[in-house]
Amino acid sequence: MKISLILLFLGLLASCTSKPLMMKYYVLHTPENKISDSSNKTKPMVLLQMVDVAEYLNQSGLVMQVDKYELYYSRQDVWAEKLQSSFYKALLEDLNTTGQRVYVEHNSPNAEFAIVSIKVELEHFHATDTSSVVSSGRYSLSLSDPKVTRNKKVTTSSQSFFFESELNQDGYAHAVEKLRTLINRLAKQIERDIAALPNN
């Protein structure tokens, strides 16, 4: 009897002291009050293929690098949707905002009119314990060659990228805000590289 009362008391005590996790959800893109005219044929059209994301980033929890070889996944600060999808939407938004071209989604009916195709591989996209956020990976640009089969692409450029930004506040909300700025920097770099392609 005594043992069962002690166990009951301990169970009640544990339930009082353990608070439920306060989940926080984050996105990298927000609705804009703009209507994108992807049917505009006067501007060159560029296709953004779906982003490839490193396997360790395919988690719901936000990632922090806490040592050279160690990662921490937050249990209460999570992405509201898959990082692959959220990153893709944010990049597409930034490309269309900063660029002189019409950037279309990989599943757009206008994809066949694209003269350039972009493929991004995201290798790192997280905060660090040294008060910074980093984003790195590779992207390739493929230019359609009118002399060959319509759907055949010829890779004309392949580029690595690495961006870093310092954190001046604590918390994942600030880290996500800074990570968002790194996507914008990537969009500007891609736009410059596309502008430098021949006949562009």
pLDDT at 145: 52
Overall average pLDDT of the 171-189 stretch: 96
Confidence label for 5 from pLDDT (cuts 50, 70 and 90): very low
Which residues constitute the domain of residue 180?
21-195
Residue 96 lies in a domain: yes
Residue 142 lies in a domain: yes
Tokens of 109: 């009916």
Residue 26 lies in a domain: yes
Q: Please, are residues 73 and 62 in contact by the beta-carbon 8 Å criterion? A: yes
12-43: per-residue pLDDT in tens?
445 545 566 789 999 998 776 555 555 555 78
Percent of the chain with pLDDT over 70: 78
149-169: per-residue pLDDT in tens?
455 556 678 999 999 999 998
3-state secondary structure string across the chain? CHHHHHHHHHHHHHHHHCCCCCCEEECCCCCCCCCCCCCCCCCCEEEECCCEECHHHCCCEEEEEEECCEEEEEEEEEECCCHHHHHHHHHHHHHHHHCCCEEEECCCHHHHHCCEEEEEEEEEEEEECCCEEEEEEEEEEEEECCCCCCCCEEEEEEEEEEEEEECCCCCHHHHHHHHHHHHHHHHHHHHHHHHCCCCC
Give phi and psi for 92, each to the nearest 5. Answer: -60, -40
Residue 155 lies in a domain: yes
The CATH number that applies at residue 128 is 3.40.50.10610
Residue 81 lies in a domain: yes
Check whether 75 has a pLDDT greater than 60: yes
Percent of the chain with pLDDT over 90: 60
Residue 175 lies in a domain: yes
Number of domains in the chain: 1
Q: Which pTM was predicted?
A: 0.82
Mean pLDDT of the chain: 84
Tokens of 176: 């996500």
Determine the Cα angle at 44 with ends 42 and 46, to 5°: 140
Check whether 96 has a pLDDT greater than 70: yes
pLDDT at 7: 45
Residue 15 lies in a domain: no
Tokens of 58: 């395919």
Confidence label for 113 from pLDDT (cuts 50, 70 and 90): confident
Q: Pick the residue with more confidence: 98 or 189? A: 189
Confidence label for 199 from pLDDT (cuts 50, 70 and 90): low
Check whether 57 has a pLDDT greater than 70: yes
